[in-house]
Amino acid sequence: MTQSEPHATAPPAATLRITFAYRGRDIRLAASRRVAMIAPPSVTAAPTAGQSGYWIELRNAAGDLLYHRALSNPIRADVEVYADDPRQTLTRIPIAAPEGQFEVLVPDLPDAQTFLFFGTPGAAPESAPSRELFRADVNELRKPRGGASTPDSGSPPRGNATP
């Protein structure tokens, strides 16, 4: 008689899907929901003071970095258009009043307390040092809002919001 290995199935990994809306320089939380999936990993070095670009972070109660991920510029400030000059195929034209939405995925880590979104301020050049553009309590993000009426995977613990 042969013994077979037990096929233990781990519970699905949980991720927070967070949707932001922006109009000009104003960024607001549009929706959040907990989904059963694995979040993309951190693949770059942790951000440093004075760095430019866009990224997200999760930090614990002590302020320690638990997760980060670099983002390709999620806030559209210009568009590509065909140039009138046949020698130049495309050109970038600034958008007078940028408006849109973008979504980020972060792992729902049990020790995570604070979610942070960093980016280049308003009309500053892309090489300008980034600053904090949005902050939220992770427990607040675990509460379904916006287009999500219920979480996809169980009910996470709830806490007081301090965005």
Residue 35 belongs to some domain of the structure: yes
pTM: 0.76
How high is the pLDDT of residue 123?
65
Smallest CA-to-CA distance from 118 within 68, 60, 66, 78 is with 68
Pick the more confident residue, 138 or 121.
138
Q: Give the sign of the dihedral formed by CA 75, CA 107, CA 141, CA 118.
A: negative
Residue 30: is its pLDDT beyond 70? yes
Nearest residue to 128 via CA among 62, 73, 91: 73
The sheet with strand 65-71 has its strands ordered as: 65-71, 54-59, 114-119, 131-137
- What's the confidence (pLDDT) of residue 7? 47
**What's the average model confidence in pLDDT over 141-145?**
93
Q: Is residue 91 part of a domain?
A: no
Q: List pLDDT tens digits, range 35-68.
A: 999 999 999 999 998 899 999 999 999 999 999 9
For strands 54-59 and 131-137, give the pairing.
unpaired
Q: How far apart are CA 127 and CA 65, in angstroms?
A: 24
* Residue among 103, 28, 113 at smallest CA distance from 67: 113
Q: Is residue 59 included in any domain, yes or no?
A: yes
Rounded alpha-carbon distances, angstroms, from residue 91 to 87, 122, 126: 11, 21, 17
Domain count, the chain: 1
Is 150 a domain residue?
Answer: no
**Most confidently predicted of 57-61, 73-77, 143-147, 156-160:** 57-61
Average pLDDT, the chain: 82
* Identity of the residue numbered 15: T
- Identify whether 8 is part of a domain: no
Query: Which pair of tokens denotes residue 52?
Result: 């430019």
**Of 12-26, 30-44, 113-127, 132-146, where does mean pLDDT reach its minimum?**
113-127
39 found inside a domain: yes
Within-domain flag for 44: yes
Helix residue ranges per DSSP H, 8-145: 138-142
Does residue 123 form part of some domain?
Answer: yes
pLDDT at 112: 96
pLDDT of 79-97, one tens digit each?
888 877 778 778 888 888 8
Q: Distance between CA atoms of 84 and 92, rounded to whole angstroms?
A: 12
Task: State the Rg of the chain over Cα.
Answer: 20
Give Cα 11 to chain centroid, integer Å: 24
Write the CB contacts of 163 (distance below 8 Å, at least 6 apart in sequence).
29, 135, 136, 137, 140
Which structural domain, as residue segments, surrounds residue 62? 14-73+99-142
